Structure 1
């Protein structure tokens, strides 16, 4: 057994407990794992995003929904390619006897997995007031339907799977078990949520020529269908600027101020302004990585900041994830894990007063207004000195300086000309 992690497939967060209005999220970031056999052939490939929420009863006979994040260090001791009687297994163990395991079985010409999620309510750091103490395991089929052998299961939409008091939201999935000779198939089985139902398109109409018409003529027996009305352009309001923060035992550990707007180009363009009055901030703070999650209703954006170790440590925004739940069966997702934006020195904040546009994918963009952010080394819950993106430098300062230099040069030439004429006139008088 040799589970391998791609460089984008590491779990990104340290173990952390987040409580927010009694409800939080257990979030696994970009699981990207290969399980290999003794011959170094891949038998299982799994790439997915997973959210898990757990509802439990407290000693006070009330209920809480708790969430925790996987640590960076994980154990894969139970992962195996299986044998003649059992299929491949991916086993992830962490913390105090918590585990997430998916075991695959072959059925006729198809394969299907079974997820076993075990959480330990005896872990007082995560479940400090749990009434029921011990290990609790839930299980559920995944994918929900068997997948044809030698095909890759793909699902970009979010699938919500509930079992007892645990809800697992799984999306951005690329999955294959029982790989033929260790090679991933180029044939996909797509989940129902990703299938776009289309209707037959009408026959193309000939180009129209618009001219004055004679209303006395008879109406054609088969008139052309009317032109669809032009879309009404509704001006988009700039989002209000909100201030957000994360806290640890020492006080504020992450500060952010921004106006946030999502611009999604799907079948119907969608523009979403985040309302600071209803937006909830959550996430985690670390020495090398911090995460800010902004959630407004059914829209969520994850900002991942990391520190680059150079001579002078500098932080930057390196990953953005967008999730918009349109309906029970339609969820929009996009991620960019190769950003290099909002760069500043650790111990400083980053500020940009001009409107910025971040491209997550070609169809998903974010417009940011009045930005100020400090994801590391916050002191006394206050922003440090800001490193400005300085739009004035880009747009105004250089032309102004060039113009001033030219004006100064012209002035010197004129002064030299005037003084030169005066000197010649004095010389003529003496002569």
Structure 2
């Protein structure tokens, strides 16, 4: 049983100390009380371009000496943000649900201009990737512990976490002695989990723990050899159906009792007649119309002391095949990034993760890409992406607004509906929306439609009158010639 260390409460706010087994961080709130504790090890493997069609791979680990500027704590959410090297950062967002908490998003930003890690890189940009891990149902007054490796692969980045010990919501200025272990540490199917993580360990063989992991992988076949005995045990359990086959004679004996309904067969003639009337109930009743979704107000700040660089207000609804669901903004984690000519907004709720990508083309911004993953209300998983969009276009320095409902088809299986929409992904000043450019549905040009119809009808009437007059003149000319 692991124990969440309690002797670390005297450490300075947000500063990590170097230990032999990884990085340890204590975060304190505004009252100088310990509110978040973390000790963990993270390895990174990043592929990057050095020339046309030439890719190199950089391998490095989260150093023991990091700064936790930007880490925050409150009663319902907390963020652990670790800054290291030349412009690199790794952060985790936590949210609570009742007496439990979960990890919403892991965000990793790496600076390709750091020649010490990415030599000869053709790019100098800072790239950010997002991961939604399966860390949930952790008691608020407990530490989450996971000694096993947990690997996440996204695009060109592989992250491997192990020896993790985190309490995201520290109570009474003291870490808890209660532990919530990860499934890989306690599940009987641990060998299968180790098999998947050894792949990432192979790629990070330069780390000091690779030999330890290798020895673990040799244990996995031994454990699996034990699991092969289970079918032998199950072969014995297959005798149970043989025994139960004898018990099926009871229904045969009871079949004699079914003669009573046969005697009443005269009275059962009515049900066949009624069977015709029972046909309408199977007809499915129409599903009730969903209420308008709640309008969420989202803003993205580079850090807690900066003004917003991206603003977005909207209500959102998804249609996955034939099922519709509203996006719930309450409890949604907001992350992303702002750059000179592009920005990203990542919204992570308990069921859905949405990534909006905006670009600046010829002094106009637009929604360029949309990625959505999640589960419907019925539990069906879905994922869709479109990287060739041209939506919500407006001049840079202004905002885009459309209060009316709009419908967009993202893929063959996914459509989204927006309500009370207003966005400004670039050039936000003083943290407020600039003058809005309205969509066509909100404009006052709707009066042109009846005018156009009236003009068309008038033109048609004139054509009919002209045709009538011409025909009548021809008939009079014919009579005169006779």
Please report the TM-score for the alignment, with normalisation by the length of structure 2. 0.42
Richer in strand (by share): 1
Greater C-alpha radius of gyration: 2
Richer in helix (by share): 2
